Amino acid sequence: MYEFDWSSIPGSLPLLAKGMGVSLEITFTAIVVGIVWGTLLAMMRLSSVKPLAWFAAGYVNVFRAIPLVMVLLWFFLIVPNLLESLFGIPRGSDMRLGSAIAGFALFESAYYSEIIRAGIQSVPKGQMAAAKALGMSYGQAMRLVVLPQAFRNMVPLLLTQAIILFQDTSLVYVSALADFFGTAAKIGDRDGRLVEMLLFAGAVYFVLCFAVSQLVRYYQKKLKTA
Amino acid sequence: MITMNKVSKHYGSFQVLADCTTHVNKGEVVVVCGPSGSGKSTLIKCVNGLEPFQSGEITVNGVSVGDPQTNLSKLRAHVGMVFQNFELFPHMSIAQNLTIAQIKVLGRDKAEAEVKGMQLLDRVGLRAQALKYPGQLSGGQQQRVAIARALAMDPICMLFDEPTSALDPEMINEVLDVMTELAQEGMTMMCVTHEMGFAKRVAHRVVFMDHGRIVEDDHKDAFFANPSSERAQQFLAKILQH
Ligand SMILES: Nc1ncnc2c1ncn2[C@@H]1O[C@H](COP(=O)(O)OP(=O)(O)OP(=O)(O)O)[C@@H](O)[C@H]1O
Ligand SMILES: [Mg+2]
C-alpha cells in the first residue's frame, strides 16, 4: 500500500507560488493579446475587403488545425533564432517565457477571434444602421455601439476560453519553463514525492478553474435576467 | 429638400427599386406606402445612403448621396432616421442614447448635449425616464425616445420606416401624436407607414409603391379619393377595412 507523505509541500510553497506566477503571466498576457488581436481578426473576417477577410480566415483555420504543443515547440525553437538574426539579441539570453507567451497569444487569438466574430454577429444589424444614421463613422459605430454589446454577450465564452487557456499553460513543459505544473513536477521528482505533488497541483488547478466557471454561471444568469 | 431621379437598385438579378423618381419639398410630409416587399424600406434607406443604389441620383439639401466624394457620415448627422424596431442602444441609459451622437459626431460638449437631450425628452413626455435603460421602457416609449434622439441632432429632415408597425395598438397613437406635432411645426418628413389616418390628417403627398416601382405619387386628397392604379385601389380597399 502506497504511503502518502505530504510533508514536502509546505516547504515548496514559495517555489510553487513563483511557478503559479509564471502560469498566470502567460495566461493574462495571452488573454489580453488574444482579445485585441482576435477582435482585429474578427473585424477583418467580417470586412468587405476581400484580402483582409481571406487573411483572417486563413490565419484562424491554420491555427485551429495545429496542436498547441507544436506551436509552442516551434516558437521555443524558432523565436530565439529569429530574434538573434533580426535584432542581434545573443542566443544565450533566456527567451523561453517570451516565446511561450508569443505562441500562446497567437494561437489563442484564433479561438478568440471566432468567439468575437460570433459576438459581433449576435448584435442585430439595425444597431449598426442606427449608429450610422446618427452620423457615426464605421469605426465609431463599432467601438461605441456594436462591440460593447458584443463583448457583453461574450463574457461567459471568453472566460470559459480563459479557463482552457490557463489549463493549457501546463504544456509549456516542452520548453522546460518553470510554470506551476512544471515546478510541481520538478519538486516532486526531487523529493521522490511526485504523486503527492501532482495531486496537490491538480487540486489547485481544480479550485481555480471551478471558481471561475462558477463566476461564468453567475454572470450568465445575470445576463439572462437583464 | 430631397430629390430622387430614376433611382434603381438590384440584388443580383432581383430588381428592388426601378426608376424611382420623387421629391420631398422643404416642410412637406410625404407618406410612402405599398404592399410588403415592394421596396419601401430600401427606398427610404437610399435617401441617407444606408443602402447603396446602382443608378439614378438622390440629393438631400443639394448634396448628392450617390457621389463617392460625399461625406455620408456628415450628411447623415443631419438627416434623422427612425426605425421600425426603435434601435435604441440597449447598453446605454436613455440620457446617453440622446447625447452620444451629439458629443461624438457633432462635437458638442457633454453639458450642452445633456441639456438638449433633456429638452427633447421633455418634449416627448419622457423626462422622468432619463436614467432608465431602453429595456425598461414600453415599445411606444422607446420609439418616442428614438424620435427624440434623432431630433437632438437638429435634423434638416426626418425619415421614418414604419415607426408604429412593431407597436401594440394602444401605443401607436402616442407615437403618431409626436410625429403629427413635428409635422405641424414644419419638419420635412418622409414616412413609410400604413397608418392611413395619419396620412389623411398630416401628409401633403402620398407615394404608392409596388414591385420596386413608384406607381402613384399624388396629392393625398387625390390619392384617397381616386387612386389611378388598380393596385393602389386594391391596397386601399384592403387596408381601410381595418
Ligand atoms: N439584402 C438583400 N438581398 C436580397 N434581397 C433583399 C435584400 N434586402 C431586401 N431584399 C428584398 O427586396 C425587396 C424589398 O425589400 P424592402 O425591405 O425594401 O421592402 P418593404 O416594402 O420595406 O417591405 P415591408 O413592408 O415588409 O417592410 C424584398 O422583396 C426583399 O426580399
Ligand atoms: Mg420595410
The ipTM value here is 0.93
Confidence at residue B233, expressed as pLDDT on a 0 to 100 scale? 87
> B90 touching A, CB under 8 A?
yes
Q: What value does the mean pLDDT take over residues B152-162?
A: 96
Our answer on whether the CB atom of B44 is closer than 6 Å to any ligand 1 atom is no
> Does the pLDDT at position A93 exceed 70?
no
Pocket test for ligand 1, best of B11, B159, B239 (most atoms within 8 A of CB): B11
Ligand 2 is an ion; residues with CB less than 5 A from it = B 41
Give phi and psi for A210, each to the nearest 5: -65, -40
Contact B150, B81 (CB under 8 A): yes
Amino acid at B106: L
Give the confidence band of A1 by pLDDT, cuts at 50, 70, 90: low
The total of other beta-carbon atoms located within 10 Å of residue B144's CB is 28
Contacts of B77 in chain A (CB under 8 A): 134-135
DSSP conformation class of A145: I
Chain A from 108 to 127: CB within 8 A of any B CB:
124, 126-127
Q: Which CATH number fits domain A9-225: 3.40.50.300, 1.10.3720.10, 1.20.1090.10, 3.40.50.620?
A: 1.10.3720.10
Confidence at residue B242, expressed as pLDDT on a 0 to 100 scale? 58
Amino acid at A174: V
- Which are the contacts of B22, defined by CB distance < 8 A and separation ≥ 6? B4, B30, B207, B214, B217
* B199 grid coordinates: 396620412
* A142 grid coordinates: 463599432
Q: Percent of chain B at pLDDT above 70?
A: 99
Furthest-apart CA atoms within chain A: distance in Å = 75
Q: Which atom of ligand 1 is nearest to the CA of B12?
A: 4
A135 three-state secondary structure: coil
Q: Whole-angstrom Cα distance, residue B115 to residue B207?
A: 37
Q: Determine which residue's CA is closest to atom 2 belonging to ligand 1.
A: B11
Amino acid at A161: Q
Confidence at residue A192, expressed as pLDDT on a 0 to 100 scale? 85
A79 three-state secondary structure: helix
Give phi and psi for B136, each to the nearest 5: -90, 0
Q: Do A137 and B89 touch (CB under 8 A)?
A: no
* Mean pLDDT value across chain A: 89
A160-203 pLDDT, tens digit per residue, is: 999 999 999 988 888 778 889 999 999 988 888 888 899 999 99
Confidence at residue A8, expressed as pLDDT on a 0 to 100 scale? 81
> B150 touching A, CB under 8 A?
yes
Q: Which atom of ligand 1 is nearest to the CA of B43?
A: 18
Contact B183, B205 (CB under 8 A): no
* B58 grid coordinates: 438622390
Give the confidence band of B226 by pLDDT, cuts at 50, 70, 90: confident
Our answer on whether the CB atom of B38 is closer than 6 Å to any ligand 1 atom is yes
**Pure H helices in B60-160:** 72-77, 94-104, 110-123, 139-151
Confidence at residue A193, expressed as pLDDT on a 0 to 100 scale? 86
A4-25 pLDDT, tens digit per residue, is: 888 888 888 888 999 999 999 9
pTM for this prediction: 0.87
Pocket test for ligand 1, best of B7, B10, B42 (most atoms within 8 A of CB): B42
* B48 grid coordinates: 441617407
Q: For cell 392604379, name the residue.
A: B229
B91-145 pLDDT, tens digit per residue, is: 999 999 999 999 999 999 999 999 999 999 999 999 999 999 999 999 999 999 9
Delimit the domains of chain A by residue range. Answer: 9-225
* A101 grid coordinates: 507567451
Contacts of B150 in chain A (CB under 8 A): 133-134
Q: If you measure CA to CA, which chain B residue comes closest to A126?
A: B87
Q: How many contacts, defined by CB atoms under 8 Å, are there between A and B?
A: 62
Q: Whole-angstrom Cα distance, residue A135 to residue A133?
A: 5
Q: Whole-angstrom Cα distance, residue B125 to residue B51?
A: 33
Our answer on whether the CB atom of B97 is closer than 6 Å to any ligand 1 atom is no
Q: What value does the mean pLDDT take over residues B49-77?
A: 94
Q: Whole-angstrom Cα distance, residue B144 to residue A129?
A: 18
Q: What value does the mean pLDDT take over residues B194-212?
A: 93
